[in-house]
Each structure stands twice: as structure tokens, then as C-alpha cells.
Structure 1
Amino acid sequence: MDLSAISPTLLVASLMVAATPILLAALGEMVVEKAGVLNLGVEGMMIMGAVTGFVAAIESGSPWAGFLAAAIGGAAMALLFGFLTQVLLSNQVATGLALTLFGLGLSALIGQGYVGIKANSLGRVDLGALSDLPFVGRVLFGHDPIVYLSLLLVAGVWAFLRFTRAGLILRAVGESHNAAHALGYHVRRVRMTAIAFGGACAGLGGAYLSLVRVPQWTEGMTAGAGWIALAIVVFASWRAERVLVGAYLFGGITVLQLNLQTAGARVPVELLSAAPYLVTILVLVLISIRARRGGAAPADLARPFHAST
């Protein structure tokens, strides 16, 4: 095995790109769960974002139009979930699973005529002399705009939940919807807003796959990224800064296993390809052991809200 073939600079830069779609989806789901809603349909929203973003980018010729359409498509899927669970009071777990299956099937239907077509991708942000700096220039200042948008969203969500009144209300709804309702807050409105935001973030994550990482449409191209995003939310203990760490950790493992294959590692390719998912399972096992001692999940997570008035 020739480890000299692995460039640390490209490895770190690549892990940021690999982590971005999962980071966007996980961050959106964290906000949803902070509001007390469990949406297992992240995979379905991501794949719908991937196909709607790709179709919009092809038809308009603009990748930005694709990202906008992806956010709208993901939010629309999420609002369907919100209507079923918050208005009709359907089971959140079953509805989320159904949303994933619906998204996978509908995306395959929509994308039938777009297989094999290459989309216009986003270029890197030109930061002048900063981009030419050794190591740091390529790692920090050589990315496309969505990578920086994802980092800004992490900072924005962290500040929103920690310092704003609206963030406090959202957390209160997740911890005790009955108490929040008694204080006069609109529980369903807060939750529907959070659900729409989570869907938009998942849609952006899906579009990043079809417009940047692999600028073409392939059926089922999310390949479990939505489930990884759900696991990262638990790993991060519902904290924005830890979501960033978890997404980058998974991105690093994904990129590392690809580099090890290229370097000729004497490990079965199947085992290397499964490594990110095996690590995810291990993390969830460790988290479940820790949760027995008192977890950080919102108290009313996945519990239906019945307004008394």
C-alpha cells in the first residue's frame, strides 16, 4: 500500500465537500427534532431535492435555479409530512418511513428522462490570494458557495437556538408542548415552520449531490445519506456545533476509504465501502448506552400534540 499517494490537502478539502449534503440534511433535521417532531423521511426529501434541483438546473441552465427548486421541493415534501402528522395526527415514525418510500419512487419517475445528462455545476469561490495559500488556501478557501452556506447555516442555527426569543419558543415546544400551548404559543405553527425548514435543508443537501458532487441524475443517488443524517443528529446530542463535527467525521471516513482503495490497501473493497456505515452503527450503539444515563433528546420528541382549545 502506497500511502504517499494520499494527499493530506486534498483529503481534508474533499471531506468538506463529501460532508456538505449530510451536514445540510442533519442540521435541518436537528431543528425539526428540537421542535419535538421526528421526521424519518430525510432520505425521501433529499432524493426529491436531488431530482427537482437537477431538472430545474437542466431546464433553466442555472444551478442556482436548481438549488432554489430543490429547497422548495424538499419543503413541499416536508409540509406533506407536517400536514399528516400535525393536523391529521398520523404516527410520525410510520409517516416518515412512508415519505421516504414515496420520495424514492416519485424521484425515479420524474428523473426517467434525465438519466445520462450532465448539469452545469457551481464553480469555486474566487478569494484571490487567499486561495493560493499553501494547504489552507485549498482547504478553506477553495470551495463552492454551498460549502460556505452550510457553515453559515450552522452558525446561524446555533445562534438562533441559543440567543433568540423564537429559538427559545421552538425549544420550549420541543420540551413541553402542553406548557408552551398554555403560555399562548402556537405549537402547530412553530412545528410546521421547523418542518418546512428541515425539508428545505434536506432538499439543498440532495441538490448538492446531483449538481456538485456528481453533476448528473442517478436513481437512488442519496444511497442512505438521509439515514446517516438522522444518526448524526443523535450523535450530536441535538447541538448544532456537534452536528458539524459529526458530518465532517462521516465525510472524512467516506473520503479516507476511497483514498485507501486508490492507494491499494490490502483490505476487501466491500469492507472499505461499508466502513462509514459500520462506524455509524458503532456510534449509535455507544450513544444508546450513554442515553440510558440520561439523554439530551427533547422531552416531547415524536409525541403528538392535542390542542385543548
Structure 2
Amino acid sequence: MSVQTLEAQPRTVAVVSWKTPIILAVATVLVALLPLLVPRSGDATFRFAAGTDAIRVPDIIVPGTAAALLCVLIGAIVTVISFVRAARRRTTPLWLVAVFAIALIFGFLAWAAAGSTGTLPMISLLSGALALATPLIFGALGGVIGERAGVVNIAIEAQLLAGAFSAAIVASLAGTPWAGLVAAMVAGLLVALVLGVFAITYYVDQVIVGVVLNVLVIGITTFLFRQVLAPNQATLNTVEPFKRLAIPGLSEIPVIGPILFRQTIVVYLMYVIVFVVWYGMYRTRWGLRMRAVGEHPQAADTVGINVARTRYMNVLIAGAIAGMGGAFYTLVSVPRFNPEMTAGAGFIALAAVIFGKWDPIKATLAALLFGFATNLQSVLSVIGSPVPSQFMLMLPYIVTIFAVAGLVGRSRPPAADGEPYIKS
């Protein structure tokens, strides 16, 4: 074989990432320290049935410390498999990471609930996690759409807060939460319009514009709350919220029914929008053009795609979706507006975008994980768990750091994300 033939053959170089097995190992050690250093006597009771279920699933009772150690063993096995695959230049499959996460979460819960005065209500824990994750999912979907089109959306927090504020006022005046939901979408769209004007038309740094919008909306809504809403609480800040709506048939499915199909209309809309965004992004011309201007706007321009118009359209759609997430706070969670009530949820949603690798389904799953971590602290405090409440309050942010640090491997944003396109 000649030298020219050897040079002509394509060569592939496998890039090995040790981040995933290392993080799995660290997580396994941290969870293992709990039953080893602080063993707890007694059993942990997991309840998988609601009080009104027609078909009741029996409670699962496990010895707390023994179950935790068994789950740690499963986590250790998965970690070893991950190291072996990395040594063979293979990635750790996502399903294996999911098995690892479920095992360690179950082990932690078994240890935390062992010998406690109450039963761990899994239906309440998971349905509450879904509710808390709903605004994060809306915000994450908005972030995915905007960044896939090439515009960094740091202003998710502003869109959520503007949506919550507008929903409270309009729903109070109109007497129906549906009007508030529409107003929230319009408010999120207007914030996105300001972002688009500065980032797309005037080429201002997108991160700076997003940060400024967050601060601006916080200041405006706080000022208007004190000057307008607080003196007129009864007429401008008293909302009739959406009620829970059980879907006949589906809501009676054991375990799944009470969690997924006994929610409010906002949660059901979230199901639909997640599917629509996923389908539209990968199965329609709209999604193809959106991804084209986010990856290579110059190539998209040469084939006749109007880059600026496409980015504007997607940024506005993203803002409207994020505004719906803000409506959840005042139309479902709390029937009135309070200053800064989103409490940094927009930044958690942005982390879910990165965690989910700019994919709508993966970003939704990441937001669900953050919602679960947030709801876990309140459930454990109710059953009398020894875990400090301060630790549980910071758990969502610890999960965020580990996720963004590389638990799911290398995250590559769209190639033109954050880059203004100047037509030559």
C-alpha cells in the first residue's frame, strides 16, 4: 500500500470524556456516606396511592439503611461500567445514567424516611414536582427555541416575571384566568421583542441585553406593585385561579393518573406545547429554518432564508411560551402577584436548556429533575426527616452545578448562538 493511499484514508480519533464516570463516582461516595456515617434504624414507607384512588397500590416498606446501601451498590456497579466504557472509548448511555439517578434517589429517600413519623407520599411528591417544574419547562422551551435560532435568551427570568405580573392584573380585571393567560403571553412576547430589537437589529451583546432586561422588569414590576397593586389589592391583585381538572379515565390509572392527569389546564397545555415544539423543531420547515439560522446563518441566507425575520419570529414565539410559564405563578400557584415571585426560576430554566443540550424533550426532563429537587425539601420536612432544610433548599442548585458540569457529557450549543448576523 502506497503512502498516498494511506494518507487518503479517513482517520477517526475517538475523544474520551472521563467527566461522566468521575461525577458518578463522586455522587456514589456522597450518598454512601449517609448510611455509613449516620445509620438510621427503622423502616421507610413509600405510599404510591392517593386517598381517592379506585385502584389502590399497596405501600412499599423497606429497611431504610439496608435499602440505601443496596442502592449505593447499584450506583457503584453503574459507575464501574461507566469507567470501563470510558476506557474503551465509549460513552455512557443515557438510560444507564437514568438507572443510576433513580437508584441513588430511592436510596437517599429510604435513608431520609427511615424511622420517621410519617409515610413518604410519592404521589404528592411527584405531582408537586411536576407542578413546580411547569414554569421551568415553559421557560426552558423558550430558551431552546431562541438559542436554536441563534439568540441567547438570558431574559427568561424577565419574561416569567412579566407574564406573572400581567396575568394577575388582567385576570383580576376580567374575572377569568383565561384572560390572564393571554395577557401573560403578550407580556412575554413584548419582552422578547425588546430583546430582538437590540440583539438582532442593533447587534448589541445578547447577554448584556438579557441581564439588563431582567433587572429592568424586576424594577418595573416591584415599583408598580407598591404604587398600584398594593393600594388596590381587591380590584387589581385578586385572581380567580385555575382549578385542578381530573381527566376522566386517565386520572384513575394507578400511580400515573394522579400524577399526570389531575392537574390544572396550564399543565395540560404544557404537555401539548412540549410535543408541538419537539415535532415542529425536527419535523417541519419551520424547525429546519430555525436550526439553519442558528447553526450557519450565512448558508441559510444564500438559499433564500431571511435570517433576521426568522430569528425575530422564533424569539417572539419563545417569549410568548415563557410568558405562559410566568402565568403559572399567579393563576395556579399563588392567586396574586408578589415582587420577584419567580425567585430566579428563569436562570434554572436556562440551566435546563444547557443540561438538555438544546433539545426540547431533554430540557423538559432536566426541568422535571429541578422541580423534583425543589419539592423534595418540603416533603421531607413534613415527615420529620433529619435532613437540614437549608441543605434541601440548596439541592436544586447543586443539581444544576453537577448537571452543567458534565453529567450528560459535552454540551455543544448551536454554532451561531449569540453571534449577530450582519448581511454582507
TM interval, shorter chain, is: over 0.9
Which protein has greater RCO, CA pairs closer than 8 Å, 6+ apart? 1
**Aligned position for 2:229:** 114
Aligned-residue CA RMSD (Å):
1.6
**Aligned position for 2:330:** 210
Question: Is residue 99 from structure 1 mapped to residue 99 from structure 2 by the alignment?
Answer: no
TM-score by length of 2: 0.69
**Aligned position for 1:8:** 122
For residues 266 and 214 of structure 1, the distance between their equivalents in structure 2, rounded to whole angstroms, comes to: 29
One-letter amino acid matched to 2:390: E
**Aligned position for 2:162:** 48
**Aligned position for 2:317:** 197
For residues 94 and 166 of structure 1, the distance between their equivalents in structure 2, rounded to whole angstroms, comes to: 28
- Alpha-carbon offset, residue 285 of structure 1: 1.5
For residues 54 and 183 of structure 1, the distance between their equivalents in structure 2, rounded to whole angstroms, comes to: 45
**Aligned position for 2:23:** none
Count of residues in correspondence between the two structures? 304
Secondary structure of 2:262's aligned partner: coil
**Aligned position for 1:66:** 180
- Alpha-carbon offset, residue 109 of structure 1: 2.1
Tell me if the contact between 1:261 and 1:272 (Cα under 8 Å) persists in the aligned partners.
Answer: no
**Aligned position for 1:302:** 418
Higher CA-based Rg: 2
Tell me if the contact between 1:92 and 1:302 (Cα under 8 Å) persists in the aligned partners.
Answer: yes
Report the CA distance shift for 1:3/1:152 in structure 2 as closer, same or farther (over 3 A): farther
Secondary structure of 1:90's aligned partner: coil
For residues 173 and 3 of structure 1, the distance between their equivalents in structure 2, rounded to whole angstroms, comes to: 56
Among 53, 73, 81, the residue aligned to 2:195: 81
Among 245, 253, 263, the residue aligned to 1:143: 263
Question: Is residue 187 from structure 1 mapped to residue 301 from structure 2 by the alignment?
Answer: no
Report the CA distance shift for 1:3/1:167 in structure 2 as closer, same or farther (over 3 A): farther
For residues 355 and 175 of structure 2, the distance between their equivalents in structure 1, rounded to whole angstroms, comes to: 38
Deviation string, structure 1 residues 200-233 (Cα, Å, up to 9, x no partner): 1111111101210122211000001000000000
Secondary structure of 2:301's aligned partner: helix
Tell me if the contact between 2:295 and 2:415 (Cα under 8 Å) persists in the aligned partners.
Answer: yes
Query: Structure 2 unaligned runs (5+)?
Result: 1-112
- Alpha-carbon offset, residue 133 of structure 1: 4.3
For residues 134 and 290 of structure 1, the distance between their equivalents in structure 2, rounded to whole angstroms, comes to: 35
**Aligned position for 2:147:** 33
For residues 141 and 94 of structure 1, the distance between their equivalents in structure 2, rounded to whole angstroms, comes to: 40
**Aligned position for 1:221:** 341
Report the CA distance shift for 1:166/1:132 in structure 2 as closer, same or farther (over 3 A): closer
Secondary structure of 1:128's aligned partner: coil
- Alpha-carbon offset, residue 278 of structure 1: 1.6
- Alpha-carbon offset, residue 3 of structure 1: 6.8
- Alpha-carbon offset, residue 261 of structure 1: 1.6
User: Residues 286-297 of structure 1 correspond to what in structure 2 (within 5 A)?
Assistant: 286=406, 290-291=409-410, 295-297=411-413
- Alpha-carbon offset, residue 157 of structure 1: 0.8
Question: Is residue 251 from structure 1 mapped to residue 371 from structure 2 by the alignment?
Answer: yes
Among 179, 198, 204, the residue aligned to 1:90: 204
Tell me if the contact between 1:55 and 1:111 (Cα under 8 Å) persists in the aligned partners.
Answer: no
- Alpha-carbon offset, residue 80 of structure 1: 0.5
Tell me if the contact between 1:48 and 1:103 (Cα under 8 Å) persists in the aligned partners.
Answer: yes
Deviation string, structure 1 residues 268-298 (Cα, Å, up to 9, x no partner): 22221111112111211226x943xxx4311
For residues 229 and 381 of structure 2, the distance between their equivalents in structure 1, rounded to whole angstroms, comes to: 31
Tell me if the contact between 2:241 and 2:330 (Cα under 8 Å) persists in the aligned partners.
Answer: no
For residues 124 and 272 of structure 1, the distance between their equivalents in structure 2, rounded to whole angstroms, comes to: 27
For residues 37 and 16 of structure 1, the distance between their equivalents in structure 2, rounded to whole angstroms, comes to: 28
One-letter amino acid matched to 1:85: A
One-letter amino acid matched to 2:412: A
For residues 193 and 130 of structure 1, the distance between their equivalents in structure 2, rounded to whole angstroms, comes to: 36
For residues 98 and 62 of structure 1, the distance between their equivalents in structure 2, rounded to whole angstroms, comes to: 32
Tell me if the contact between 1:56 and 1:69 (Cα under 8 Å) persists in the aligned partners.
Answer: yes
Query: Structure 1 unaligned runs (5+)?
Result: none
Tell me if the contact between 1:51 and 1:110 (Cα under 8 Å) persists in the aligned partners.
Answer: no
Secondary structure of 1:267's aligned partner: coil
**Aligned position for 2:354:** 234
One-letter amino acid matched to 1:297: P
For residues 36 and 139 of structure 1, the distance between their equivalents in structure 2, rounded to whole angstroms, comes to: 36
Secondary structure of 2:273's aligned partner: helix
Deviation string, structure 1 residues 11-54 (Cα, Å, up to 9, x no partner): 11111111100000100110100001101111111111110111
**Aligned position for 2:6:** none
Tell me if the contact between 2:290 and 2:310 (Cα under 8 Å) persists in the aligned partners.
Answer: yes
For residues 162 and 196 of structure 1, the distance between their equivalents in structure 2, rounded to whole angstroms, comes to: 19
Give the helix-richer structure, 1 or 2: 1
Deviation string, structure 1 residues 250-276 (Cα, Å, up to 9, x no partner): 111111111112222223222211111
**Aligned position for 1:127:** 247
